[in-house]
């Protein structure tokens, strides 16, 4: 049987990248999915491609009324809500602390953090009535360690997402609802192009190039793929993870594990040479 057979999920930020691929995999695994995003043409095209098990609702995830309506849509259309994947996000302003501007800071926090809070707030009552559910929040390795994003605002927001996940997990776990986060590493999506100012359409076309860029960024010698995150989301949405709660699942090919072996060995060889010590 498919791993998500009979389950109903809401996925935000589903018109590109990780969200799009997760929607495809969820439907393939038997779930009924309501996908959300700002781009109507892309969202409707994906829903048409995935068939009657998928419905698109245009949603601004920073707007509480729209988030509430999104959750209600899923329950009204498919009868229940088993999973919420708070995936929507985007780049944040760059620069040092002295040059940050309040309006872009607030806008980034609304997209990256407030949207997660709103999703959980409005999903929780439906899941409480069922006595079950899985909420998955998209974090980042930038929220675990400094220096893994070009934006300190993005890093701070993702750190807050990871900790908010833990806090809510302690509350909702008592009602049979699991709350976990996924922290991707270098995943080849359009977010990097968007951070550099490219349009959404142009940024989405840079994913293949980013796979090449990220090949040697971590011990696993390939760029991360949306499939890597989608597979983890399937696991956390399924009953296979029924005893996992309050966990941040890092999917980064080992980049945050430490220095790559080859880099460390090259440094060691350079030090021996500088000291005039011959190799063994």
Smallest CA-to-CA distance from 161 within 103, 248, 64 is with: 248
Residue 162 confidence (pLDDT) = 98
Residue 129 confidence (pLDDT) = 97
The answer to whether the CB of 43 falls within 8 A of the CB of 95 is no
The answer to whether the CB of 100 falls within 8 A of the CB of 149 is no
Residue 189 has pLDDT above 70, yes or no: yes
Q: Give the H/E segment covering residue 54.
A: strand 54-58
Place 263 in a pLDDT band, splitting at 50, 70 and 90. Answer: confident
- Could you report the per-residue pLDDT of 23-66, keeping only the tens digit for each? 999 999 999 999 999 999 999 999 999 999 999 999 999 999 99
Residues with a catalytic annotation lie at: 154
Q: Domains of the chain, with CATH numbers?
A: 8-275 (3.40.50.720)
- Of 107-116, 136-145, 192-201, 243-252, the range with the lowest mean pLDDT is 192-201
Smallest CA-to-CA distance from 158 within 103, 192, 116, 118 is with: 116
Q: Which residues pair with 85 in a beta bridge?
A: 11, 136
The answer to whether the CB of 218 falls within 8 A of the CB of 255 is yes
Tell me the average pLDDT across 178-191: 89
Backbone angles phi, psi at 91, to 5 degrees: -70, 165
Spatial separation of the C-alpha atoms in residues 19 and 191, rounded to whole Å: 12
The answer to whether the CB of 84 falls within 8 A of the CB of 136 is yes
Residue 191 has pLDDT above 70, yes or no: no
Helices (H) and strands (E) in the chain, counts: 11, 7
pLDDT: which is higher, 204 or 149: 149
Where do the H-state alpha helices sit in the chain?
A: 17-28, 40-50, 64-78, 102-109, 115-130, 152-172, 191-195, 200-204, 207-213, 226-237, 261-275
Residue 38 confidence (pLDDT) = 95
- Could you report the per-residue pLDDT of 196-248, keeping only the tens digit for each? 565 666 656 666 777 777 778 889 998 899 999 999 999 999 999 999 999 99
Spatial separation of the C-alpha atoms in residues 207 and 252, rounded to whole Å: 16
């Amino acid at each position: 049987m498919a791993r998500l057979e009979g389950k109903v999920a809401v996925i935000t930020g589903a018109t590109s990248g990780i969200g799009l691929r997760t929607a495809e995999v969820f439907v393939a695994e038997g779930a009924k999915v309501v996908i959300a995003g700002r781009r109507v043409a892309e969202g409707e095209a994906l829903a048409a491609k995935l068939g009657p098990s998928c419905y698109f609702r245009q949603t601004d995830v920073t707007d509480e009324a729209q988030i509430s309506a999104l959750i209600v849509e899923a329950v009204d259309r498919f009868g229940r809500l088993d999973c919420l994947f708070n995936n929507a996000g985007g780049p944040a302003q760059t620069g040092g602390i002295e040059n940050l501007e309040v309006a872009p800071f607030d806008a980034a926090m609304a997209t990256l953090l407030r949207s997660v809070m709103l999703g959980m707030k409005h999903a929780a009552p439906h899941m409480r009535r069922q006595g079950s559910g899985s909420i998955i929040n998209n974090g980042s390795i930038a929220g675990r360690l400094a220096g893994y994003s070009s934006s300190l605002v993005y890093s701070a927001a993702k750190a807050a997402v990871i900790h908010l996940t833990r806090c809510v997990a302690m509350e909702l776990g008592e009602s049979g609802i699991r709350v976990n986060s996924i922290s991707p590493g270098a995943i080849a999506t359009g977010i990097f192009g968007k951070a550099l100012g490219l349009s959404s359409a142009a940024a989405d076309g840079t994913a293949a190039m980013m796979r090449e860029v990220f090949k040697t960024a971590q011990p696993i010698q390939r760029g991360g793929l949306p499939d890597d995150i989608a597979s983890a989301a399937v696991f956390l949405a399924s009953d296979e993870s029924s005893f996992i709660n309050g966990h941040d699942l890092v999917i980064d090919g080992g980049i945050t594990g430490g220095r790559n072996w080859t880099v460390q060995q090259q440094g060691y060889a350079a030090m021996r040479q500088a000291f005039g010590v011959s190799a063994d």
